Amino acid sequence: MLLELSGVTKHFGGIAAVEDIRFEVTEGSILALIGPNGAGKTTLFNIITGALSPEKGSVRIKGREMVGLKPFQIASAGITRTFQNLQLFSSMTVLENVMAGAYLRSKKGFIRSFFSFPGNCREEKRIREESLILLDEIGLGSSAGLLASELPFGKQRLLEIARALASDPALVLLDEPAAGLNPAETEVLTGYLKKLKTKGTAMVLIEHDMQTVMEAADKIVVLNFGQMIAEGTPAEIRTNPDVIKAYLGEDEKIA
């Protein structure tokens, strides 16, 4: 098992942000984490990545306990993420942003890449070529030479995802990846996520775009007020009465 959460609990001022959350993510699968605003989704991401520590529970990556480790230690285990608010290197080019992500798995490292050590040129060439391929796959190849700040918001969102994936993570956490994307960009993103899954990359995504969730996810976990109210396939979640009530407050189907 790639990711295992068991009994994860976190309170803020007596309010349960998440309570007794437990689910599993297998290699090469996509799990969507959905729920109304304030359900505890981002809190859970922060716990998985070490930005927050739970009061109770376990977070394991390939059987190794992550609770108590620093974020950089968890990242070194092959975990990366994106954020609701874009965090790009705006003064660097689109290509350089992706290459910065790739340096995390480089033998030379991010800092040494700036110096002319033996072997750096070969490593630099490989990273550049792989980054260009990644940009092509996500629809940003023609924008490689632009500054990140010159891209429209939707393409900046795709760039942040590309940078996160450049480190070839075992698991990537995507926080609202379709936010700000137009329908064409959303379609590219959904197709790319499916392609990554076939390559063995596992993903957990927070997403409010139900079409993206239903098309991309293998399994969906639904949170409401910090509680896990449902878990199942897209077909099962679509007609789950507890989920419908949490979202709509009446007996309708989720698109």
Same domain, residue pair 201 and 251: yes
Neighbours of 223 (CB within 10 A): 25
The answer to the question of residue 204 being in a domain is yes
Give the residue from 102, 136, 164 where a domain finishes. 164
The pLDDT, as a whole number, for residue 254 is: 55
**Phi and psi angles of residue 76, each rounded to the nearest 5 degrees, phi first:** -70, -15
Which H or E run contains 3?
strand 3-12
**Region of residue 135 (left: phi > 0; alpha: psi -120 to 50; beta: else):** alpha
Our CA dihedral for 228, 231, 234, 240, rounded to 10 degrees, sits at -70
Same domain, residue pair 72 and 189: yes
Q: Which long-range contacts (CB under 8 A, 24 or more apart) does 137-141 make?
A: 137/192, 137/195, 138/162, 138/188, 138/189, 138/192, 139/185, 139/188, 140/94
Same domain, residue pair 101 and 174: no
Closest CA to 190 of 179, 178, 200: 178
pLDDT digits (tens, 9 = 90+) for 112-134: 555 554 456 788 888 999 999 99
The answer to the question of residue 234 being in a domain is yes
Q: What are the angstrom distances between the C-alpha of 167 and each of 11, 68, 98, 118, 186?
A: 32, 23, 9, 22, 22
Same domain, residue pair 154 and 187: no
Give the residue from 126, 142, 164 where a domain finishes. 164
Rounded to whole angstroms, how far apart are CA atoms 153 and 167? 23
Residue 145 predicted with pLDDT over 70: yes
The mean pLDDT value of the chain amounts to: 89
Total domains in the chain come to 2
Same domain, residue pair 104 and 217: no
Same domain, residue pair 181 and 134: no
pLDDT digits (tens, 9 = 90+) for 71-110: 999 988 889 999 878 889 999 999 999 998 887 665 555 4
Residue 197 near residue 211 (C-beta atoms within 8 A): no
The answer to the question of residue 83 being in a domain is no
The answer to the question of residue 84 being in a domain is no
Strand intervals (E) in 77-121: 79-81
Same domain, residue pair 160 and 178: no
Same domain, residue pair 139 and 186: no
Same domain, residue pair 72 and 57: yes
Give the residue from 122, 147, 164 where a domain finishes. 164
Same domain, residue pair 43 and 96: no
Residue 245: give the domain boundaries. Answer: 1-78+169-255
The pLDDT, as a whole number, for residue 87 is: 83
Same domain, residue pair 104 and 31: no
Same domain, residue pair 3 and 74: yes
Q: Strand pairing partners for 8?
A: 21
